[in-house]
């Protein structure tokens, strides 16, 4: 099973010292697995709440911003969030249970607290819309979901930006980029999922 993922988007590059400090911090509460995967051992040691259920491993990948090479993405992000990210810390959960969604969000919040930046969620923050009153096309369904998301986002504290672009398959995509205040509030929302 593949779980949720996020990017912590940074305005400045990560130095070797920054990356070493990140790994040293992770090692206080996580056990290093293979190829960048870390398994939570002691949530208190890294200031994270203890998950209510066991969680799988989390992939932690610091590096240059992955969107920099896509033609229209840097300009889209500059317009949406006010800067072009220079670096990122990619986070991905091995599984998709509730505890893994929550661990991912808390880990992203902790990293934003250390390094600054914003959090790109995998797609959009999802507020479920009311059921359709009649059969609808895919475009109508998409618009209904988008309207529900925008209404839900408008009622939350913090900032949630939309970064729209066209995928390599030619499909319109909207990615939400949120600040720490928004993500902390989203964690408390009944619809929370990363």
Looking at the domain assignment, is residue 129 inside a domain? no
Q: Is residue 46 part of a domain?
A: yes
Instruction: Indicate whether 54 belongs to any domain.
Output: yes
pLDDT of residue 147: 87
Q: What is the pLDDT of residue 119?
A: 98
Strands (E), 94-171: 118-121, 160-166
Beta carbons of 104 and 121 less than 8 angstroms apart: no
User: Which of helix, strand or coil describes residue 189?
Assistant: coil
Residue ranges of the chain with pLDDT lower than 70?
1
Say if residues 99 and 52 touch (Cβ distance below 8 Å).
Answer: yes
CATH number at 13 reads: 3.30.1400
pLDDT value of position 91: 97
So what's the pLDDT on residue 87? 98
Specify burial of residue 114 (Cβ count, 10 A radius: 0-12, 13-18, 19+): middle
Indicate the average pLDDT of the chain: 90
Q: Which long-range contacts (CB under 8 A, 24 or more apart) does 163-171 make?
A: 163/73, 163/76, 163/77, 163/80, 163/81, 163/120, 164/76, 164/80, 165/70, 165/72, 165/73, 165/76, 166/72
Number of domains in the chain: 1
Q: Please tell me the predicted confidence (pLDDT) of residue 124.
A: 86
Report the interhelical angle of 180-188 vs 98-115 (nearest 10°): 160
Would you say residue 137 lies in a domain?
no
pLDDT, tens digit (0-9, with 9 covering 90-100), for 140-176: 888 888 888 889 999 999 999 999 887 778 887 889 9
Whether 156 is in a domain gets the answer no
C-alpha distances in Å from residue 66, one per residue of 70, 74, 120, 154: 8, 10, 12, 28
Stretch (H or E) spanning 22: helix 16-29
In a domain, 87, yes or no: yes
Query: Which residues constitute the domain of residue 59?
Result: 5-122+178-188
């Amino acid at each position: 099973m593949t779980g949720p993922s996020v990017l912590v988007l940074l305005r400045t590059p990560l130095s070797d010292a920054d990356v070493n400090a990140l790994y040293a911090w992770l090692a206080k509460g996580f056990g290093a697995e293979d190829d960048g995967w870390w398994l939570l051992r002691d949530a208190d040691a890294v200031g994270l709440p203890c998950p209510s259920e066991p969680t799988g491993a989390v992939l932690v990948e610091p590096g240059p911003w992955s969107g920099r090479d896509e033609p229209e993405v840097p300009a889209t992000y500059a317009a949406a969030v006010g800067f072009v990210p220079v670096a990122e810390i990619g986070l991905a959960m091995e599984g998709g249970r509730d505890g893994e969604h929550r661990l991912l969000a808390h880990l992203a919040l902790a990293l934003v607290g250390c390094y600054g930046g914003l959090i790109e969620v995998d797609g959009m923050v999802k507020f479920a819309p009311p059921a359709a009153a009649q059969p609808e096309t895919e475009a109508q369904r998409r618009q209904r979901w988008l309207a529900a998301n925008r209404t839900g986002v408008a009622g939350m504290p913090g900032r949630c930006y939309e970064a729209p672009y066209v995928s390599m398959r030619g499909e319109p995509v909207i990615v939400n980029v949120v600040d720490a205040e928004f993500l902390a509030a989203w964690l408390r929302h009944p619809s929370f999922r990363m």
